[in-house]
């Protein structure tokens, strides 16, 4: 981010999607909200995924002056909630970055582009930009954004040559059953509807015309040519512990039935583990049924069909499932979904999503992902892992306990919320965290160490009975290591650095690699040399003659 700021300043760049403000000590909150609306709308109109509002940089000349806007981190982060209270769909900043540039504090507010079809208001007014000026969004621009909703929903497209004969009879029967479950008060009425009426009511067709959604969910396999070049398919693959493919199968439309068929391919293995303090083992299925169906149905609902890819389900014999679909993750991050706990304001396939809701396949209240995390947490299994790189969404579900002692103790720490546990889970797995997440965990005294070598704090280690593991990660302190170096030189006179490495490697933090450990030992030696305690003797090290007393332990 520091390089990004410096690059923008060198280019002396400010346009419809980048705004610089001094904001040295304060900034009018209402004006901040207007800029949020303006930059979000302009990012949409410019075809950009995000816009930036930068505090601490003077507009004229792009001089970095620093900003003390909301110096307390908690208060700064609260601005996300405060902005969401006054915007369309409670849209707010993706991230707020705090960086030090030229020894000055600079804030970067990352603003998401307005979702397709939804111009963003601030306190019931639409704002935009005229070059660098803040202005009201004009009627043409408002309508241009609103018109995107109809233009962009591929799933609502009509298949002109398709008829009811292109739909699978068994899928239609299943759809009626699921619709009645979703709408029990219409149970008797649904029985009397003909197919055309039912399809219109369930929002699978539009005025009797067959949509792409109808073909995806209910279409016969041989009728998927109506979707060309899009693909309506789920592929299941079984891989052994070495990642070698052992078996596979493709499931085509109707995907309403294909989800069940793919589900049945997953091996129904029971998993047993002993909870601390219990006399009898816990026995569960490796993968919760709800969790599998939620992942599959979400992949079908949010797949970017225009990219020509397929939904995939990889079952690994090393006890994990990986679900994948094409397209970027529209909510931004999984953490944002957990924090917001509200419905999304935009869906890639709005018509398909609505149909799947009517058939009781998914919900749109924002609780599905949160329930998935809670289910894994309650079973003491690792939390789901989301990888949203390369315009693809991958969800990995692990079907075993990785560290039962840690999981059970962590789950009993009442002060930890689901977000805290998600982040600590990432720390335990060695995943990279954002700077904001690191600051958040540090403030709560849940982690220690420097990026990327983070580890749980002594507080968490004590409560999860991981004192030994904690000490192994932290290693012995610098003073003790330096005392060992001095003691060794007193006994043996001279030693090579490689000998010190053999002496100290096992005592340094376990989360450092060999290169990092060598670098740390080199720094210890150089520091002792600078303080006049030791000196080099060719390739050897020795105590300096008439050196001052050794540092205290």
Q: DSSP readout, 111-122?
A: EEPPPTT-PPEE
Q: Determine contact, residues 54/20, Cβ cutoff 8 Å.
A: yes
Does position 339 have pLDDT exceeding 70, yes or no?
Answer: no
Question: 242-251: per-residue pLDDT in tens?
Answer: 889 999 999 9
On whether the CB atoms of residues 519 and 504 are closer than 8 A, the answer is no
Q: What is d(CA 321, CA 314) in angstroms, rounded to the nearest whole number?
A: 6
Query: What is the model's pLDDT at position 205?
Result: 94
pLDDT band at 456 (very low <50, low <70, confident <90, very high): low
Residue 456 · residue 430 · CB < 8 Å: no
Q: Are 99 and 49 in contact (CB under 8 A)?
A: no
- The rounded distance, in Å, linking the Cα atoms of 144 and 44 is 10
- pLDDT: is 37 or 144 the higher one? 37
- Rounded to 10 degrees, what is the CA torsion of 537, 540, 546, 552? 150
Q: How big is the chain by its Cα radius of gyration, in Å?
A: 29
- Report the pLDDT value the prediction gives residue 345, as an integer from 0 to 100: 56
How do residues 162-218 score in pLDDT, each as one tens digit? Answer: 999 999 999 999 999 999 998 888 878 888 999 999 999 999 999 999 999 999 999
Helix (H) or strand (E) holding 100: strand 95-101
What does the pLDDT read at residue 89?
A: 76
What is the pLDDT confidence band of residue 14, given thresholds at 50, 70 and 90?
low
Q: Comparing C-alpha atoms, which of 332, 329, 336, 331 is closest to residue 419? A: 336
Question: Is the confidence at residue 237, as pLDDT, over 60?
Answer: yes
Q: What is the mean pLDDT of the chain?
A: 82
Task: Let me know: does 252 contact 262? Beta carbons within 8 Å.
Answer: no
- Please write the tens of the pLDDT for every residue from 362-378: 875 456 777 888 888 77
Please list the residues that pair with 34 across neighbouring strands. none
Segment 53-79, tens digit of pLDDT? 999 988 777 888 999 999 998 899 999
How many angstroms separate the CA atoms of 412 and 296, rounded? 31
Q: What is the DSSP letter of 349?
A: T
* Token couple for 429: 């797995």
pLDDT digits (tens, 9 = 90+) for 65-114: 999 999 998 899 999 989 988 998 788 998 899 998 888 999 999 999 99
Which residues, listed in sequence order, are joined to residue 105 by a DSSP beta bridge?
100
Q: What is the pLDDT of residue 198?
A: 94
**Dihedral angle computed from the Cα positions of residues 297, 301, 307 and 312, in that order, rounded to the nearest 10 degrees:** 0
Q: What is the pLDDT of residue 549?
A: 52
pLDDT at 352 (0 to 100): 93
pLDDT of residue 460: 58
Provide the terminal-to-terminal Cα distance of the chain, rounded to the nearest Å: 40
Q: How confident is the model at residue 322 (pLDDT cuts 50, 70, 90)?
A: very high
- Taking Cα atoms as reference points, which of 210, 201, 118 lies closest to residue 164? 210
pLDDT in tens, 378-420: 777 778 888 877 778 899 998 877 665 555 555 556 566 666 7
The pLDDT of 307-313, averaged and rounded, is 89
Helices 350-358, 289-302: axis angle to 10 degrees equals: 150
Mean pLDDT of 35-57: 92
- pTM value is 0.55
Q: Domains plus CATH for the chain?
A: 2-148 (3.30.950), 153-392 (3.30.565.60), 406-466 (no CATH), 478-543 (1.10.10)
Mean of pLDDT values over 10-37: 84
**Can you give the pLDDT at residue 553?**
46
- Show the tokens assigned to 175: 């759809």
pLDDT at 328 over 80: no
Spatial distance between the Cα atoms of 141 and 147, rounded to a whole number of angstroms: 10
Tell me what pLDDT residue 475 has: 47
- Per-residue H/E/C for 57-85: ECCHHHCECCCCCCCCHHHHHHHHHHHHC
């Amino acid at each position: 981010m520091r390089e990004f700021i410096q690059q923008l300043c060198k280019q002396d760049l400010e346009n419809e999607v980048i705004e610089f403000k001094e904001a040295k000590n304060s900034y009018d909150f209402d004006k901040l909200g207007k800029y949020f609306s303006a930059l979000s709308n302009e990012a949409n109109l410019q075809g950009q995924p995000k816009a930036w509002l930068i505090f601490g940089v003077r507009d004229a000349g792009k001089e970095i002056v620093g900003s003390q806007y909301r110096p307390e981190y908690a208060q700064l982060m609260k601005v996300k909630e405060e902005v969401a209270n006054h915007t369309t769909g409670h849209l707010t900043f993706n991230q707020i970055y705090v960086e030090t540039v030229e020894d000055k504090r600079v804030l970067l507010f990352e603003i998401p582009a307005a979702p397709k079809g939804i111009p963003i208001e601030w306190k019931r007014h639409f704002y935009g930009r005229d070059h660098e000026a803040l202005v009201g969004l004009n009627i043409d621009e408002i309508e241009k954004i609103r018109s995107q909703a109809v233009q962009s929903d591929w799933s609502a497209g009509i298949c002109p040559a398709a008829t009811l004969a292109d739909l699978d009879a068994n899928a239609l029967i299943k759809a009626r059953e699921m619709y009645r479950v979703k709408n029990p008060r219409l149970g008797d009425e649904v029985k009397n509807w003909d197919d055309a009426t039912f399809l219109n009511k369930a929002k699978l067709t539009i005025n009797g015309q067959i949509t792409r959604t109808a073909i995806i969910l209910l279409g016969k396999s041989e009728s998927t040519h109506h979707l060309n070049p899009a693909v309506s398919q789920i592929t299941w693959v079984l891989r052994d512990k070495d990642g070698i493919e052992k078996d596979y199968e493709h499931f085509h439309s109707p995907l309403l039935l294909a989800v069940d068929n793919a589900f049945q391919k997953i091996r129904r293995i029971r998993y047993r583990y002993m909870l601390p303090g219990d006399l009898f083992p816990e026995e569960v299925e490796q993968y919760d049924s709800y969790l599998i169906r939620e992942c599959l149905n979400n992949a079908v609902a949010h797949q970017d069909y225009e990219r020509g890819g397929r939904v995939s389900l990889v079952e690994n014999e090393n006890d994990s499932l990986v679900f994948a679909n094409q397209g970027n993750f529209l909510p931004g991050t999984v953490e944002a979904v957990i924090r917001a706990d509200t419905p999304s304001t935009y869906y890639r396939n709005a018509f398909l999503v609505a149909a799947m809701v009517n058939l009781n396949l998914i919900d749109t209240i924002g609780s599905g992902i949160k329930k998935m995390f809670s289910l894994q947490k309650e079973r003491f299994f690792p939390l789901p892992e989301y990888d949203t790189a390369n315009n693809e969404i991958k969800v990995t579900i692990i079907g075993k306990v990785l560290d039962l002692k840690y999981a059970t103790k962590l789950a009993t720490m009442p002060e930890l919320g689901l977000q805290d546990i998600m982040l600590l889970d990432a720390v335990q797995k060695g995943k990279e965290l954002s700077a904001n997440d690191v600051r958040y965990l540090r403030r709560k005294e849940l982690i220690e160490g420097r990026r990327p070598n983070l580890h749980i704090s002594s507080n968490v280690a004590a409560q999860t009975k991981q004192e030994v593991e904690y000490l192994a990660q932290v290693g012995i302190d610098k003073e003790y290591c330096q005392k060992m170096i001095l003691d060794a030189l007193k006994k043996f006179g001279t030693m090579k650095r490689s000998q010190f490495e053999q002496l100290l490697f096992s005592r340094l933090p376990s989360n450092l690699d060999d290169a990092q450990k060598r670098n740390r030992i080199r720094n210890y030696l150089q520091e002792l040399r600078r303080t006049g305690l030791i000196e080099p003797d060719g390739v050897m090290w020795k105590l300096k003659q008439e050196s001052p007393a050794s540092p205290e332990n």
